[in-house]
């Protein structure tokens, strides 16, 4: 049930016992046991009722979980499940455990004691004990390397309750012990624990504990557990900030989770990363950005309907990270865009198939898209603006490298990136010629050679096969894509005073197309497009004719364009209607697609379940696979609805991703106050 | 060719006549001259007949397709000859031979029999690579040739016959080339790892390596001896050349290739910088000094060896083309291709390197038909060589020969040649020609007055003076080492006439052929040199082409450019209204876009320059405005370099037609609305629109486009705040287009690197 990303991770302590589908397996085993060995079954019945009442639904209640714990995303119950599971092996394990008899064995009672102690008065000694126990617990995850610990954990139930206890109570206890002031409402600065007078004394214990958390984080495989530990790590960020070595380890582990985990884990990991980078920018930001970029590139090698949302998520969040410091971002962007340009230049000069491959791949395209997103997220920035020029040139050079029809999907991706860029940065980048060229070169009248059932999903392919080119689905899809992209591109320029001139070649081309084409379906679409464009043309022409200023008057033209944008043009109005319809269509398509995707069937089921749990809308942005800028509006409105009162009038940089994240977060973390606060902070910096 | 040469012959004596004073003397001299010329003319005619025959020969014989020979691409041929000599790429050669060995090994007889004495198993089978009888192995061709040849060959034959497997070195290497030992090492290294599935592969290979080394040493010693003292050792050349007939089957291919290349280098080195003419009878009879005699001997030997060498090369190529397994059977059919390619490369090299030397015409005749060879590598090689020759040729003689042969070939093949052949003609370095044929007759008359004139016009003293002066001038002329300008121009004129003949023929007879683009491009390039009398016809043909609609937009752009080149030169006397051409260009403009070929913008820019800026007086304001508007619209949809070029052209337009500034105002002028889709610049009411697209361009991602847009927005002022910098304003649109080229991903202007690390985007 693990998502595709982390299935290959290092063998963890609890290999797959947490897995729900294995739970049912376990049930089968039990029933088999009943028939094979009735005596033992009876013994179990007497001694371990729970094991037999095993159920793979999440409804299992645990008696020692109180109300508060249940807020943790049903995690505790699952943990309990797990240790029930392990009891079977206990017998054999006990023998091993006896060897290290010198160390005290942690029991449930001890944990209860500690808990009581902490609620009363957390002393340094108590903390030390707990830390030692925690360290022992973590040491078991490491496998055979036996360290000298004061305690041993041989019982997985104890392990679970200890870990649970720690991630629940430890943060509060530590701050209480260090006598840290509770952060006031509205206060933006984190209170660093090193400011406490007791810090020096307890530093070693805290260091040990904090290192333990990182260790734990890297050895876990179950998503929900990771999420819980990540949440704890997020709380503990101030402590990490004071301990550079541990912090580096934490960052490494966070980046791994950010790039390979499942949705919730990714979001939480990103929040922690963001928090750390914001508070210790000068130290960590540079290396974190670099590592994140590398992780991003590594993980966008393959694109499928399932991975695309993840890639989009990484793009958005990485763009968010880059917006923290534009000076640093400029250096990164410069170097990496330069790298892209060099790859492209080699491909142009050498003209070999292998060098084409170094450009025409998903990583390259996703990198182009990433930088487009970064530059559009951080738009009004004097520092980053000079990079628009090389980036555009690389994208256009990439389109023109091998302009054959088999690479049309790649070209469409590039045009989409250009559209994103020109929509958000007020930069004019010619993209229409590349679309019109397709319309001109492709013979739509030709009868398709093959019929196909499956529509081609242009979002997740770069290159068409030769058989694809003959299919009807290809031409259908192509016309649809062209319609979408032309409309979207015109939408970005709809209010510009030069719109009629911009549209002229398109109008000429579309007219020629309508004259030639005999397929009614295509003609209908294109005629509609032509009408909308012409309508907008005449609107703009009429308005500008009445204007009292000349071409040279730059400020008047800017004001005029602003005015038009406020009033809206025929095209913008049509676009917003169309967008809504299109989004619905895409939603339907996605659900249909998932049904069809028989390769990863279990995975999809899980996702759907997740979706239901997580308020359905939560991962809309992640699932959105077709165009990415369109969901911004949606998140904008949602973000306002849920957090409208808390949000400060945000500075213009990075509006949408932040809002998006806050909504996501809300759903994910379910009322975790601390994180909401974090996001507000990000606006401030 | 005929009329031109005749005229030359007639003229020469008349020219001489004018220089002489006495009639009697003149007559005598004239007779002598005529006699000489007759004999030389005969020779020339003979040569030309040969030449012509060669053309037809080749055109008849080279028809067969060569699919069967598309064997293996060899990297070897890509290397330079110099490399060849310096670091003899034995590994490649070995491959060839190895292959041959393998091919032979498949037949049991190869191993079981003695190679030199076995009889052919399937003598009738063409492809068989069986060793044959000894007499078969001897080159038959050699026997047909002069006896002398045979004598020199025999010793080598003898030795190989006597000791077939290991040859004795006939000459002790005195001055071995340094690289030889290295080669040997290389060779051994190469040989060891290779395992041929034979009975005693190791031995076979060792034997072969040994033989090869010996041959190479031999070759090297011969070559270096010749190079060290060509006058003395000219005989060794013969010996070296004789190695071309290498018969030992296991090293034949490699050795032959090596010999070809070595000979090429040797010839390139020892050939004098003048043409060697055959001695006359008197000269032969006259007593000369010892040194002169030696020189003559050397020259004679050189020429004959050179000739035989060329013949051998030609024969190799021919054998390959005709798939005949002639000569000795030492070389398998499969190896012919590699051998022929090396031969062609040698010929091409000679074509470029020795245009002044004897037999250059023969080389031309050999190379030109190969330009349309179906093997791409061969045709590319030949086209490249011809282009290089045309580019380098300063005298014009070689160009003329090449053009003549090409013309014959194009016509002979019924226009069925590759466009690359005609594209070579674009490399011709012709700047000026004589516009009228009759000028050349009048020119010399002006220079030297006729005797009669002198008599009437000048006094006795003056005549004496004049005589002295003319004599001096004549001497000066002769002393002038370089070819005179007149002569060069004459050659150029003739060359160009033939080129135009090719072009016009195609325009007239083969409008549908694939050659049309090349023709149009060529016409556009040489348009300013076209003779006035063709203008009318040419223009109507061009217009017909454009209106036919068969042309791609690139071709029609070439058509337009050609027409206006014609019209802008001496054609301005013609009263032709090129309105249709304007309309056509206006219409064609919108077919340009960023997705298409970016290079075509350069043609458009040239067209705009000749059509609007240079003909400002014939262009109406409406038309100029129409173009200005459409060009601005166009610049929205081009790559940045093209946009910069077009905007610069707009700037020039605004300067030429200052009244275009109404396009910057937003006021209605007269009636009508602007009709952007109408394809006639006059009637689209451009005065009623404004250049709003400049605001989009002002937001363009490319800094230079932004700059130009802002500049145009202000009405393209030449000074003040909105003016461009000096360097920019001086550049022409075409230059700007080239400056900001995005072809190879260079960034101009460069992108500023991050402040900490000083890195700048790659800019060329």
ipTM of the complex as predicted: 0.70
Looking up tokens 């002398």, which residue turns up? B148
The two structure tokens encoding residue A134: 């925690």
Helix, strand or coil, per DSSP, at residue A414 = helix
* Closest by Cβ to A388, choosing from B701, B757, B762: B701
B226, pLDDT greater than 60: yes
Distance from CA of A131 to the nearest CA of B (A): 44
How much of chain A is in helix, strand and coil states, percent to nearest 5? 70, 0, 25
Is the bond into A309 cis (omega within 30 degrees of 0)?
A: no
- How many helices (H) and strands (E) are present in chain A, helices listed first? 32, 2
Higher confidence at residue B247 or residue A486? A486
Inter-chain residue contact B701 with A392, CB threshold 8 Å: yes
Q: How far apart are CA B449 and CA B465, in angstroms?
A: 13
* A548 touches B: beta carbon within 8 Å: yes
pLDDT of residue A652: 37
CB A247 within 8 A of CB A272: no
Which DSSP category does A191 fall into?
A: P
- Tens digit of pLDDT for each residue in B31-52? 777 777 777 777 777 777 776 6
- Tens digit of pLDDT for each residue in B435-460? 554 444 444 444 555 666 666 777 78
Inter-chain residue contact A552 with B747, CB threshold 8 Å: no
Task: Give the other-Cβ count within 10 Å of A481's Cβ.
Answer: 21
A386 vs B contacts (CB less than 8 Å): 751-752
> Which residue, A257, A210, A251, A263, is CA-closest to A232?
A210
Locate all alpha helices (DSSP H) within A151-198, ordered by sequence. Answer: 156-177
* A351 touches B: beta carbon within 8 Å: no
The two structure tokens encoding residue A30: 């039990």
> Which residue, B736, B712, B739, is CA-closest to B724?
B712
pLDDT of residue B482: 52
pLDDT of residue A616: 37
Higher confidence at residue A593 or residue B598? B598
Tell which A residues from 303 to 342 touch B, by Cβ distance under 8 Å: 330-331, 334-335, 338, 341-342
Average pLDDT value for residue range B341-345: 88
pLDDT of residue A292: 92
- Tens digit of pLDDT for each residue in B689-724? 888 889 999 999 999 999 999 999 888 888 877 788
Residue A359 CB-density burial (10 A; 0-12 exposed, 13-18 middle, 19+ buried): buried
Distance from CA of A242 to the nearest CA of B (A): 28
Q: How far apart are CA A529 and CA B2, in angstroms?
A: 67
- Tens digit of pLDDT for each residue in A641-665? 333 333 333 333 333 333 333 444 3
A87, pLDDT greater than 80: no
Inter-chain residue contact B696 with A396, CB threshold 8 Å: no
A490 vs B contacts (CB less than 8 Å): none
Helix, strand or coil, per DSSP, at residue A428 = strand
- Tens digit of pLDDT for each residue in A458-491? 888 888 888 888 888 888 889 999 999 999 999 9
DSSP structure string for B86-119:
HT--HHHHHHHHHHHHHHHHTSHHHHHS-GGGPP
Percent of all residues in chain B with a pLDDT value above 70, rounded to a whole number: 69
Helix, strand or coil, per DSSP, at residue A152 = strand
B711: closest chain A residue by CA: A552
Helix, strand or coil, per DSSP, at residue B700 = strand
A426 vs B contacts (CB less than 8 Å): 699
Q: How far apart are CA A174 and CA B758, in angstroms?
A: 47
**Mean pLDDT comparison of A494-503, A606-615, B609-618, highest-scoring range:** A494-503
Task: Give the other-Cβ count within 10 Å of A617's Cβ.
Answer: 14
pLDDT of residue A34: 61
A367, pLDDT greater than 90: yes
Cα–Cα distance list, B330 to A218, A348, A478, B327, B600 (Å): 73, 45, 61, 8, 53
pLDDT of residue B106: 52
Distance from CA of A606 to the nearest CA of B (A): 44
Residue A152's DSSP bridge partners are: A105
- Tens digit of pLDDT for each residue in A519-542? 888 999 999 999 999 999 999 998
B590: closest chain A residue by CA: A505
B595: closest chain A residue by CA: A434
Distance from CA of B383 to the nearest CA of A (A): 22
The two structure tokens encoding residue A84: 């029930």
Percent of all residues in chain A with a pLDDT value above 70, rounded to a whole number: 68
pLDDT of residue B689: 85
pLDDT of residue A39: 61
* Closest by Cβ to B751, choosing from A344, A389, A504: A389
CB A363 within 8 A of CB A375: no
CB B740 within 8 A of CB A374: no
Cβ neighbours for A136, distance < 8 A, ≥ 6 positions apart: A103, A106, A149, A150, A151, A152, A153
The two structure tokens encoding residue A271: 């929040």
> Sign of dihedral through CA atoms B51, B56, B59, B61?
negative
Tell which A residues from 375 to 434 touch B, by Cβ distance under 8 Å: 386-390, 392-394, 396-397, 399-400, 403, 426-430, 432-434
CB A74 within 8 A of CB A62: no
* Closest by Cβ to B754, choosing from A334, A428, A496: A334
Helix, strand or coil, per DSSP, at residue A628 = coil
Locate all alpha helices (DSSP H) within B278-425, ordered by sequence. Answer: 281-285, 290-322, 336-353, 360-370, 376-392, 397-412, 419-425
> Which residue, B566, B559, B578, B658, is CA-closest to B618?
B578
The two structure tokens encoding residue B566: 């014609």
pLDDT band of residue A395 (cuts 50, 70, 90) is: very high
Which of B754, B756, B759, B763 would you mutate first to test chain A, the one with the most A CBs within 10 A? B754
* Closest by Cβ to A433, choosing from B593, B632, B701: B593
* Closest by Cβ to B747, choosing from A393, A551, A557: A393
B700 vs A contacts (CB less than 8 Å): 427-429
* A350 touches B: beta carbon within 8 Å: no
């Amino acid at each position: 049930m693990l998502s595709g990303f982390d299935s290959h991770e290092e063998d963890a302590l609890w290999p797959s016992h947490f897995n729900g589908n294995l739970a049912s397996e376990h049930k089968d085993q039990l029933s088999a046991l009943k028939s094979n060995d009735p005596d033992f079954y009876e013994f179990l019945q007497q001694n371990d009722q729970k094991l037999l009442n095993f159920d793979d639904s999440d409804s299992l209640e645990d008696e020692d979980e109180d109300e508060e714990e249940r807020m943790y995303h049903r995690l505790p119950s699952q943990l309990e499940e797990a240790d029930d599971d392990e009891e079977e092996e206990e017998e054999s394990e006990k023998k091993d455990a006896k060897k290290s008899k010198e160390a005290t064995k942690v029991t449930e009672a001890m944990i209860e004691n500690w808990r009581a102690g902490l609620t009363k008065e957390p002393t340094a000694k108590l903390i030390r004990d707990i830390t030692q126990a925690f360290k022992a617990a973590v040491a078991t995850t490491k496998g055979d390397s036996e360290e000298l610990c004061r305690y041993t954990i041989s019982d997985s139930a104890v392990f679970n309750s200890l870990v649970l206890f720690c991630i629940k109570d430890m943060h509060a206890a530590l701050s209480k012990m260090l006598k840290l002031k509770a952060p006031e409402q509205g206060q933006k600065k984190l209170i660093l624990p090193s400011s406490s007078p007791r810090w020096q004394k307890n530093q070693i214990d805290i260091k040990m504990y904090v290192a333990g958390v990182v260790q734990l984080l890297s050895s876990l495989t179950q998503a929900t557990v990771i999420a819980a530990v990540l949440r704890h790590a997020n709380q503990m960020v101030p402590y990490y900030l004071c301990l550079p070595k541990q912090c580096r380890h934490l960052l490494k582990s966070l980046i791994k989770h950010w790039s390979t985990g499942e949705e919730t884990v990714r979001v939480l990991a990103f929040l922690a990363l963001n928090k750390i980078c914001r508070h210790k920018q000068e130290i960590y930001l540079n290396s974190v950005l670099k590592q994140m970029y590398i992780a991003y590139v590594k993980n966008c090698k393959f694109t499928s309907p399932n991975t695309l949302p993840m890639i989009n998520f990484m793009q958005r969040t990485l763009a968010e990270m880059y917006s923290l410091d534009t000076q640093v971002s400029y250096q990164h962007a410069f170097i990496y865009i330069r790298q892209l340009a060099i790859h492209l230049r080699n491909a142009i000069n050498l003209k070999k198939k292998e060098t084409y491959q170094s450009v025409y791949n998903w990583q390259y395209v996703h990198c182009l898209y990433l930088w487009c997103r970064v530059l559009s997220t951080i738009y009004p920035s004097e520092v980053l603006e000079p990079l628009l020029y090389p980036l555009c040139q690389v994208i256009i050079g990439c389109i023109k490298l091998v302009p054959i029809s088999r690479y049309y999907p790649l070209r469409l991706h590039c045009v989409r990136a250009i559209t994103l860029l020109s929509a958000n940065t007020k930069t004019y980048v010619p993209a229409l010629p590349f679309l019109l060229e397709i319309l001109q070169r492709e013979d739509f009248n030709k009868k398709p050679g093959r019929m196909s059932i499956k529509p081609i999903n242009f979002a997740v392919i770069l290159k068409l096969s030769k058989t694809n080119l003959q299919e009807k689905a290809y031409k259908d899809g192509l016309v649809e894509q062209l319609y979408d992209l032309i409309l979207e591109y015109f939408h970005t320029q709809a209010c510009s005073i030069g719109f009629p001139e911009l549209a002229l070649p398109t109008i000429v081309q579309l007219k020629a197309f309508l004259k030639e084409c005999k397929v009614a379906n295509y003609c209908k679409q294109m005629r509609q497009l032509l009408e909308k464009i012409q309508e907008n043309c005449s609107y703009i022409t009429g308005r500008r004719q009445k204007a009292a200023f000349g071409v040279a008057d730059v400020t008047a033209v800017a004001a005029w364009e602003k005015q038009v944008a406020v009033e809206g043009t025929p095209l913008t109005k049509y676009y917003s209607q169309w967008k809504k319809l299109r989004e619905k269509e895409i939603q339907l398509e996605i659900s249909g697609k998932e049904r069809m995707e028989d390769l990863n069937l279990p995975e999809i089921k899980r996702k759907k379940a997740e979706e239901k749990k997580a308020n359905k809308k939560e991962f809309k942005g992640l699932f959105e696979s077709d165009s990415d800028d369109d969901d911004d509006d949606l998140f904008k409105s949602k973000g306002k609805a849920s957090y409208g009162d808390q949000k400060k009038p945000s500075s213009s940089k990075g509006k949408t991703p932040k809002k998006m994240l806050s909504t996501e977060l809300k759903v994910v973390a379910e009322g975790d106050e601390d994180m909401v606060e974090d996001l507000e902070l990000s606006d401030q910096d | 060719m005929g009329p031109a040469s005749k005229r030359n012959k007639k003229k020469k004596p008349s020219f001489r006549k004018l220089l002489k004073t006495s009639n009697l003397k003149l007559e005598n001299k004239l007779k002598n001259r005529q006699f000489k010329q007759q004999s030389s003319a005969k020779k020339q005619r003979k040569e030309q007949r040969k030449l012509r025959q060669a053309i037809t020969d080749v055109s008849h014989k080279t028809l067969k397709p060569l699919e069967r020979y598309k064997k293996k691409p060899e990297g070897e041929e890509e290397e330079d000859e110099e490399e060849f000599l310096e670091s003899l790429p034995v590994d490649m050669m070995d491959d060839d031979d190895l292959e041959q060995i393998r091919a032979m090994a498949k037949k049991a007889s190869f191993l079981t029999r003695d190679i030199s004495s076995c009889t052919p198993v399937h003598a009738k089978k063409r492809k068989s690579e069986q060793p044959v009888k000894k007499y078969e192995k001897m080159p038959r061709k050699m026997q047909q040739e002069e006896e002398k040849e045979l004598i020199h060959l025999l010793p080598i034959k003898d030795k190989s016959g006597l000791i077939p497997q290991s040859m004795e070195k006939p000459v002790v290497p005195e001055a071995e080339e340094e690289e030889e030992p290295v080669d040997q090492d290389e060779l051994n290294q190469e040989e060891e790892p290779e395992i041929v599935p034979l009975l005693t592969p190791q031995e076979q290979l060792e034997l072969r390596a040994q033989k090869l080394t010996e041959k190479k040493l031999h070759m090297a010693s011969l070559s270096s001896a010749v190079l060290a003292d060509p006058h003395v050792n000219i005989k060794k050349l013969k010996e070296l050349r004789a190695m071309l007939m290498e018969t030992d089957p296991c090293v034949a291919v490699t050795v032959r290739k090596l010999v070809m290349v070595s000979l090429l280098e040797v010839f390139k080195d020892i050939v004098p910088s003048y043409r060697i003419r055959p001695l006359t009878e008197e000269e032969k009879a006259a007593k000369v000094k010892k040194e002169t005699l030696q020189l003559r001997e050397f020259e004679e030997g050189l020429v004959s060896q050179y000739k035989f060498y060329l013949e051998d090369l030609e024969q190799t190529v021919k054998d390959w083309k005709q798939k005949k397994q002639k000569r000795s059977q030492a070389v398998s059919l499969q190896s012919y291709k590699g051998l022929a390619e090396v031969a062609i490369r040698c010929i091409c090299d000679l074509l470029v390197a020795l245009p002044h030397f004897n037999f250059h015409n023969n080389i031309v005749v050999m190379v030109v038909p190969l330009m349309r060879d179906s093997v791409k590598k061969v045709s590319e090689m030949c086209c490249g060589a011809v282009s290089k020759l045309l580019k380098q040729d300063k005298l014009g003689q070689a160009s003329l020969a090449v053009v003549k042969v090409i013309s014959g070939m194009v016509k002979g093949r019924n226009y069925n040649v590759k466009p690359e052949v005609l594209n070579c003609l674009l490399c011709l370095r012709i700047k000026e020609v004589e516009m009228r044929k009759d000028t050349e007759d009048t020119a010399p008359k002006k220079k030297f007055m006729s005797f009669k004139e002198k008599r009437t016009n000048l006094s006795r003293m003056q005549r004496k003076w004049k005589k002295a002066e003319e004599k001096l001038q004549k001497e000066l002329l002769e002393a002038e080492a370089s070819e005179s300008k007149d002569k060069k121009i004459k050659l150029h004129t003739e060359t160009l006439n033939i080129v135009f003949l090719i072009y016009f023929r195609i325009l007239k007879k083969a409008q549908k052929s694939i050659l049309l683009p090349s023709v149009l491009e060529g016409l556009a390039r040489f348009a300013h040199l076209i003779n006035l009398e063709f203008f009318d016809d040419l223009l109507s043909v061009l217009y017909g082409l454009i209106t036919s609609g068969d042309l791609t937009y690139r071709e029609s752009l070439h058509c337009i450019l050609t027409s206006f080149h014609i019209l802008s030169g001496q054609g301005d006397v013609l009263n032709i209204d090129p309105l249709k051409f304007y309309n056509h260009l206006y219409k064609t403009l919108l077919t340009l876009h960023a997705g298409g070929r970016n290079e075509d913008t350069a043609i458009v820019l040239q067209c705009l320059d000749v059509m609007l800026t240079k003909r400002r007086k014939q262009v109406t304001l409406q038309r100029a405005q129409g173009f200005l508007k459409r060009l601005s619209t166009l610049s929205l949809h081009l790559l940045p370099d093209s946009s910069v070029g077009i905007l610069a052209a707009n700037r020039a337009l605004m300067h030429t037609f200052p009244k275009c500034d109404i396009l910057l105002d937003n006021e209605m002028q007269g009636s009508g609305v602007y009709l952007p889709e109408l394809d006639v610049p006059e009637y689209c009411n451009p005065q009623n629109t404004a250049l709003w697209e400049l605001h989009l361009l002002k937001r363009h991602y490319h800094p230079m486009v932004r700059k130009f847009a802002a500049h145009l927005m202000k009405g393209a002022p030449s000074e003040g705040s909105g003016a461009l910098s000096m360097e920019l304003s001086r550049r022409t649109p075409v230059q700007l287009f080239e400056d900001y080229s995005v072809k190879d991903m260079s960034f101009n202007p460069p992108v500023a690197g991050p402040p900490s690390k000083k890195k700048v985007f790659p800019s060329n």
